[in-house]
Chains A and B, each alone.
Chain A
Amino acid sequence: QVQLQQSGPGLVKSSQTLSLTCDISGDSVSSNSAAWNWIRQSPSRGLEWLGRTYYRSRWYYEYAASVNSRITINADTSRNQFSLQLKSVTPEDTAVYYCARDDYSARVYRMDVWGEGTTVTVSS
């Protein structure tokens, strides 16, 4: 079955860049039906979708308006993984970060596989 394994530092200093990676097993980052998402959760903001990347003859990137100026999601086909970079972080970016797969096939959309979550604290 599809599994997502997250990695990355749990502590980032204010104004620096938060970087996380999600390793995929059981599926391909270049899948023609899947998309690869980053989501975060904090007590103040609840669950917040940050963005996703997917491949449909070319790579697409979609980002939430709230982080659009600071976020980059990349896919690495050689390592079958995707990553999140969030620039210029502040303590407001402290949250549990999740990677997740969504899949569109047979006219249905499902977000069915999640990573285990990484707690990231931004120190001021």
Chain B
Amino acid sequence: QTVVTQEPSLTVSPGGTVTLTCASSSGTVTSGFHPNWFQQKPGQAPRALIYSTSNKHSWTPARFSGSLLGGKAALTLSGVQPEDEADYYCLLYFGVSWVFGGGTKLTVL
């Protein structure tokens, strides 16, 4: 069974930049895995941020961007705001199934 791995936790200062990554135990993450990224705050359903590597939804703030970096999918937050403190999850498509990463808890401090 494929495992998708994210950093368990990261800390960033307000106004700073942070990159979260998403790796697959099956190998290099490519655009064919259509990486999706979600933000989740306590008590809420996940909210979609990025789809198919780097595409933003109409509601996604400009400071969020997606890419492929060093064989992984990546989510970069530039100019971090206090309200960005949340859990972030990646999701990869494996042809007949989706697999979520374990999530990254982002602290803004």
Taking CB atoms, residues of chain B closer than 8 Å to A102 are 98
Q: Is the CB–CB distance between A109 and B34 below 8 Å?
A: yes
Q: Which residue of B lies closest to A115 (CB)?
A: B45
Q: Which of B17-25, B50-58, B76-84 has 4 or more CB atoms under 8 Å from chain A?
A: B50-58
- Asked whether any CB of chain B lies closer than 8 Å to the CB of A64, the reply is yes
The tally of residues in B whose CB lies under 8 Å from a CB in A reads 22
* Size class of the contact patch on chain A: 20 to 34
Chain B nearest CB, measured from A6 CB (Å): 10
Bitwise, A81-124 to B at CB < 8 A (1) or not (0) is: 00000000000000000100010000111111111110000000
A46 and B3 alpha carbons, distance in the complex (Å): 12
Q: Is B102 an interface residue (CB 8 A)?
A: yes
Which of B46, B55, B99, B102 sits near A114, CB closer than 8 Å? Answer: B46
Once the chains bind, are B97 and A64 in contact (CB under 8 Å)? yes
Is A30 an interface residue, CB under 8 A from the partner?
Answer: no
Do residues B93 and A109 form an inter-chain contact, with CB atoms below 8 A?
yes
Q: Mark A51-62, 1 if CB is under 8 A from B, else 0.
A: 010000000001
Do most interface residues of chain A lie in helix, strand or loop, or is the interface mixed?
strand
Which partner residue on chain A sits nearest B91 by CB separation? A111
Known contacts A110-B36, A111-B51: does B1 contact A49 (CB below 8 Å)? no
Q: Could you say which residues of chain A place their CB within 8 Å of the CB of B89?
A: 46-47
- Given that A110-B57, A111-B36, A117-B45 are contacting pairs, would A48 and B52 also be in contact in the complex, using a CB cutoff of 8 Å? no
B4-50 CB contacts (< 8 Å) to partner A: 34, 36, 38, 45-48
Chain B 56-109 residues near chain A, CB threshold 8 A? 57, 89, 91, 93, 96-100, 102-103
Separation of A108 and B46 alpha carbons in the complex (Å): 20
With A and B bound together, what is the CA distance between A91 and B103 in angstroms?
23
Residues A65 and B1 in contact, CB atoms below 8 Å apart: yes
Residues of B within 8 A of A37 (CB): 98
> What is A's interface to B at a CB cutoff of 8 Å?
37, 39, 46-49, 52, 62, 64-66, 98, 102, 107-117
Binding site for A on B (CB under 8 A): 1, 34, 36, 38, 45-48, 51-52, 55, 57, 89, 91, 93, 96-100, 102-103
